[in-house]
Each structure stands twice: as structure tokens, then as C-alpha cells.
């Protein structure tokens, strides 16, 4: 870490600070009622395709309730952390998943979904920054590995705004919509994240 970063000064001078809240969003534990909006979003086939590299089968509300129940109050902590994202009006706008945590090598990844009515408001970028701060400065991890379908400009731009660097492309790895796509690989070290935070706090 660079000499300009002073965590002690930051902690002791911010007594009203809520780690999980930013200027646009707050992260919280999932609750059962989150399943309703999650289920309404299952008809966003392209959104799910870009996230999951394929079209999801139709889901009933009961199916989504069962999935959400696995994550309520961080029950499945060992496999990762799934946070609900609310905006500051209290509206549930999406979810972010901290996963692939490798404590030996200090690496991790994440997945994020912002529901259609709430996109293009800066919610995703801020939620990612909060999760990255937690992973880097509380879990002592040192690098985030991420990726997206090559050609998904919105995802690539979002990653780069947070400080991610394109590390390469794995050719013809993803098959969907009748075509093969490249897997775009992006990475962010803790040092790069700190520099990016100084430039765009």
C-alpha cells in the first residue's frame, strides 16, 4: 500500500460511518421478500444470458423463493456472500455475490445483477466498490479476478471505471445465441484499487 493511504486516520475520524452504505446504495443481508422482484426479472432473457452465458429456463416464484432461502441472513457463508442491494429510497435494486475466495493465494471474484428498472444509475459500480473494500481491507485478499463476454461493452466499461485491467481473452469459450464468443478476462490488485479510489473516491 502507498504511504498516502492512512486507514487509522480514516477509521478514527469517521464515527458515523456505515461501511455497507455509499452515496447511492446500501448492501444488506438477503430476505425472503427479495424473491418477488428476482422472479419478475426472469423474463429478462438477454440480461441473464450475459450474466450466466445462456438462457435460463422459466422459473416459478416458489423456485426463486427456494433459491433465496438458501442465502437469507448469509446462511451459506462458506460458499460465498450474497448481498441484496437497496438504493437509499429503500427500493430493492439487485444483488452482488462475493465468491471464488481463495485465502491461500488471496484471490476472489464477484457477480452482480441490477434489475432493469434501476440500471444506469451508478448502483452497480458503487456496490462493487463496497464489496472490493471489504475483500481487500477486511479479508486481506489481494486480487480480484473477473470477466465478461467479449463485446459486452457496458460490463467492460463498468469494470474499467472501478480500476480493472483487461488481462486477456480466452477465444471461443462461450456458446450462446447460436454463436461462439470470447471470454474477456479482467483483474484488479489491491494496489490498483487504492490508486483508483484516490482518483475517484
pLDDT at 27: 98
Cα separation of 123 and 108, whole Å?
21
Cα separation of 145 and 143, whole Å?
6
pLDDT at 73: 85
Cα separation of 149 and 31, whole Å?
30
pLDDT at 200: 66
**Low pLDDT (below 70) residues in the chain:** 1-16, 48, 52-53, 76-78, 200-201
Q: Is pTM beyond 0.95 here?
A: no
**Domain spans of the chain?**
7-141
Q: Domain 7-141: state its class.
A: alpha beta
Amino acid at each position: 500500500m502507498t504511504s498516502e493511504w492512512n486507514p487509522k486516520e480514516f477509521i478514527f475520524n469517521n464515527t458515523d460511518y456505515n461501511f455497507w452504505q455509499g452515496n447511492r446504495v446500501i448492501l444488506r443481508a438477503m430476505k425472503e421478500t427479495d424473491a418477488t422482484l428476482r422472479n419478475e426479472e426472469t423474463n429478462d432473457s438477454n440480461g441473464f444470458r450475459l450474466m450466466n452465458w445462456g438462457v435460463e429456463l422459466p422459473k416459478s416464484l416458489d423456485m426463486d423463493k427456494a433459491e433465496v432461502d438458501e442465502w437469507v441472513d448469509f446462511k451459506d457463508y462458506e460458499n460465498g456472500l450474497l448481498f441484496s442491494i437497496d438504493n437509499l429510497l429503500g427500493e430493492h435494486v439487485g444483488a452482488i455475490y462475493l465468491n471464488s475466495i481463495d485465502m491461500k493465494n488471496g484471490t476472489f471474484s464477484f457477480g452482480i445483477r441490477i434489475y432493469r428498472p434501476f440500471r444506469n444509475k451508478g448502483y452497480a459500480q458503487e456496490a462493487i466498490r463496497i464489496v472490493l473494500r471489504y475483500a481487500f481491507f477486511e479479508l486481506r485478499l489481494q486480487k480480484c479476478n473477473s470477466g465478461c463476454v467479449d463485446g459486452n461493452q457496458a460490463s467492460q466499461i463498468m469494470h474499467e471505471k472501478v480500476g480493472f485491467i483487461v488481462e486477456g481473452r480466452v477465444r471461443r469459450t462461450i456458446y450462446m445465441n447460436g454463436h461462439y464468443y470470447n471470454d474477456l478476462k479482467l483483474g484488479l490488485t489491491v494496489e490498483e484499487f487504492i490508486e483508483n479510489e484516490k482518483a475517484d473516491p
